[in-house]
Amino acid sequence: SKEQGRNSICFFSPAQHEATLSRYRIAGLLQQALDNDEFHMVYQPQIEVDSGKLIGVEALIRWYSPQLGQVSPEVFIPVAEDAGLIEAVGYWALEQSIAETMKWLEKGLELKISVNFSARQFQRGEVASRLLALLNKYQLPAELFVVELTETCFVHSAEATECELVRLREHGVRIAIDDFGTGFSSLSYIRNMSLDMIKIDRSFISQINAENSGGRLVQAMIDMSHAMELEVVAEGVESAQDLAVLKQLGCDMAQGYHIARPMTASDLEGWAMSYEP
């Protein structure tokens, strides 16, 4: 309150205090969520820009908490990281995604699967061993698997991350940099790291049809990536116009609400069977 502000040092505003409390509450409920199977995965299609062909899906985690309702991953993933629960949550998501991709494959639906990894998972190491063990357990070809990680992974533990990536790529797993353009985006680490793909953040894609330099910026990102022999995925493609511009700019793959929203494994199966480019 104003009174407090004048007479004492106030460490937390009421809003901050509430946010802290709810982080504790979420952390407590996350452990319970793991025990009670409250998570599920949804999958968002990725298409080849030129042909419109369905190539793969990105796996995104969902949490329905009986106490809190639907909680966004943008809220609970950071809490899971701070609470030391990201390994458990991350590997749950990983195993579930691999199992569901394998079921599609057995039905003749071959899709690449992209899974998000938190920087914290790479700090602990053993990402490569654990992922390769799961691919082996489900007999999913490594060539169908894409690791999505953000630039943060290189800031905090560049060498450890690089070791893991090299090992994964030796086995055929592919590596994508997520949210490209929003972090440090130093060209030097992109050049030095073992990567296959770049995912241009949707904040850039939403600008490509605006009356500014948005299109040229995305063009530069695409050209730069191609010069380094990296494939480019555009995120957040929300209109036919976005997609048309991306085609002109030579973008390789696209993902976004214009193509499809993320959906459950069984909805995805139906969607894919009836999809026509």
Q: Summarize as ranges the residues that interact with Ca ion (CB under 5 A).
A: 116, 148, 178-179, 235
Token pair listed for 40:
């599920």
Crossing angle of helices 73-82 and 14-36, in 10° steps, is: 90
Helix (H, G, I), strand (E, B) or coil at 115: strand
Between CA 159 and CA 98 the distance in angstroms is 27
Segment contacting ligand C2E (CB under 6 A): 122-130, 180-188, 211-219, 255-263? 255-263
Should residue 256 be labelled a site residue for ligand C2E when binding is judged by CB under 6 A? yes
- The alpha carbon of 233 is separated from its chain's Cα centroid by a whole number of angstroms, namely 12
Q: Looking at 7, 70, 72, 188, which residue binds ligand C2E (CB under 6 A)?
A: 72
Query: Do the Cβ atoms of 34 and 88 come closer than 8 Å?
Result: yes
By the rule CB under 6 A, 56 interacts with ligand C2E: no
Stretch that binds ligand C2E, among 129-137, 207-215, 226-234, 254-262 (CB under 6 A): 254-262
Terminal-residue alpha carbon distance, the chain: 58
Pick the closer one to ligand C2E by CB: 10 or 60: 60
Helix (H) or strand (E) holding 40: strand 39-48
* Residue 45 touches which of Ca ion, ligand C2E, none (Cβ within 5-8 Å per kind): none
Q: 10 Å Cβ neighbour count for 197?
A: 21
**Comparison of 116 and 225: residue with beta carbon closer to ligand C2E:** 116
Nearest residue (CB) to ligand C2E, 12 versus 257: 257
Range in contact with ligand C2E (rule: CB under 6 A) among 7-15, 23-31, 69-77, 160-168 = 69-77
Is the CB of 95 or the CB of 238 nearer to ligand C2E? 238
Question: What's the chain's length in residues?
Answer: 277
Applying CB under 6 A, among 45, 56, 215, 262 the residue interacting with ligand C2E is 262
Minimum distance of ligand C2E from residue 14's CB (angstroms): 27
Distance CA 212, CA 261 (A): 28
Rounded Cα–Cα distance for residues 133 and 147 (Å): 15
Q: State yes or no: residue 77 binds ligand C2E (CB under 6 A).
A: yes
